[in-house]
Amino acid sequence: MWRLEPRSDAPLIWQFATPVLAVLATMLTGAVLFGLMGYDPFGAIRTIFWDPLFGASAGYSRPQLLVKAGPLILIACGLAVGFRAGIWNIGAEGQFIIGGITGAAVGLAAYPAEGWWIFPAMIVAGAAGGWAWGMIPALLRNWFGASEILVSLMLVYVAEKIAAWMAFGPMRNPEGFGMPGSRNLTQYPSAANPELIAGTGIHWGTIAALIAVVAVWVLISRHLRGLQIRAAGEAPRAARFGGVKPSALVAFCLGLSGALAGLAGLFEAAGPAGQITDGFGVGYGFTAIIVAFLGRLHPVGIVLGGLLMALTYIGGDIAQMMMQLPSATVQVFQGMMLFYLLGFDLLTRYRIRRRPA
């Protein structure tokens, strides 16, 4: 018989090893799955995980890596702070959408004026929109004790409906021949979020993501608020005795993750997406949850996790084109990776010992 013995520490080696193991197990399971579905298993895995970086069309797909990883990292950084404190914002997708809408609204309102102040104003509006959308579950939890998990998730659906309404109603491009969707912001220089260095995929969102990574690292490891967050997550009672106000923490964490998700939404709306459409939310907010866990809720890990998830997105697109693999394959991979990670995590928290007979 075997038994589990809780570890008092989480050994560094396992903290690094479990995400790697999870990725390998996902590849293996994926290969089996593809084999069963009648695809070439090794070809499919290579197409998803290798070709985007080193394949024939890598010149095109490599910049895409940063385009996709940027929003994931930006959102996941905010989520990780809350998750560490045991505050579960799972509605980042909604905050992303609202941030995109409020940010784009400022740009569309200024149209066709040109000016240096327009894009910064959009950034502020995007962050404020996401912050406000994140504060709804925070306040409802603080005032009434409503679960932030369920409220933030419900607000994703509400945000999706608002995006659809905007695309068909108030924000519809007056020169769009009746097509749904706003004006394309990339064709409006003062509001556009262009590629900054040609061929790299770096836009202002990537820069913001890097700043967020450093800021969150400082917050968590060097700041008093970070200590409170870690304490609240690991020993809630002790944290309360230590003078941490739970309601202030809830507002801080949901506000921060909302603002970062809103920023990601704005950069997306003004850059890669270009406009607010019916389907503006493409799931970055949900994938970012996986990124946060894959990165062990640590900023540096999140960068790696974000790049990996971006890789699967791009690889999935290539596999769809080259091998006619369904686009949903990537979603399955991402879910599977999180399952494996959560399972292997046992090794970080427990020691497996043989039970004396």
Partner 1 sequence: MIDPVSVFLMLLSAATPLLFAALGELIVERSGVLNLGVEGMMITGALAGFAAADATGNPLIGFAVAAIAGCAISMIFGVLTQFLLANQVATGLALALFGLGLTALFGKPYEGVKAPSMALGPLRIHWIVWLGLAMVPLIWWFLQRSRAGLILRGIGENHHAAHALGHKVHLYRLAAIGFGGAMAGIGGAYISIATVLQWTEGMTAGAGWIALALVVFSGWRAFGVLAGAWLFGGVTVLQLRLQAAGIAVPVQLLAMAPYLATIIALVVISARRKGSAAPGSLGKIFHATS
Residues 6+ apart with CB under 8 A from 289: 76, 79, 90, 92
Residues 6+ apart with CB under 8 A from 127: 99, 259, 260, 262, 263, 266
Three-state DSSP state, 275: coil
Residue 165 is a binding residue for partner 1 (CB under 8 A): yes
**CB nearer to partner 1: pick between 202 and 345:** 345
User: Which residues partner with 351 through β-bridges?
Assistant: 5
Residues 6+ apart with CB under 8 A from 79: 89, 92, 257, 288, 289, 292
User: What is the smallest separation between the CB atom of 235 and partner 1, expressed in angstroms?
Assistant: 14
According to CB under 8 A, which residues from 294 to 333 bind partner 1?
326-333
Q: Which two tokens stand for residue 99?
A: 């941030």
- Which helix H or strand E contains 351, and what residues bound it? strand 350-354
**CB nearer to partner 1: pick between 87 and 122:** 87
Number of residues that bind partner 1 (CB under 8 A): 47
Contact with partner 1 (CB under 8 A) among 44, 135, 138, 338: 338
Contact with partner 1 (CB under 8 A) among 97, 289, 303, 314: 289
Residue 345 is a binding residue for partner 1 (CB under 8 A): yes
Residue 145 is a binding residue for partner 1 (CB under 8 A): yes
User: What is the smallest separation between the CB atom of 124 and partner 1, expressed in angstroms?
Assistant: 27
Does residue 356 have a cis peptide bond before it, meaning omega lies within 30 degrees of 0? no
- Inter-helix orientation angle 41-49/329-344, to 10°: 90
Residue 58 is a binding residue for partner 1 (CB under 8 A): no
Selected range binding partner 1 among 13-21, 22-30, 162-170, 254-262, rule: CB under 8 A: 162-170
As a whole number of Å, the CA-based R_g of the chain is: 21
User: What is the smallest separation between the CB atom of 90 and partner 1, expressed in angstroms?
Assistant: 6
Q: Which residues bind partner 1 (CB under 8 A)?
A: 4, 6, 88, 90, 140, 143-147, 149-151, 153-155, 157-158, 161-162, 164-165, 168-169, 286, 289-290, 293, 326-336, 338-339, 342-343, 345-346, 349-350
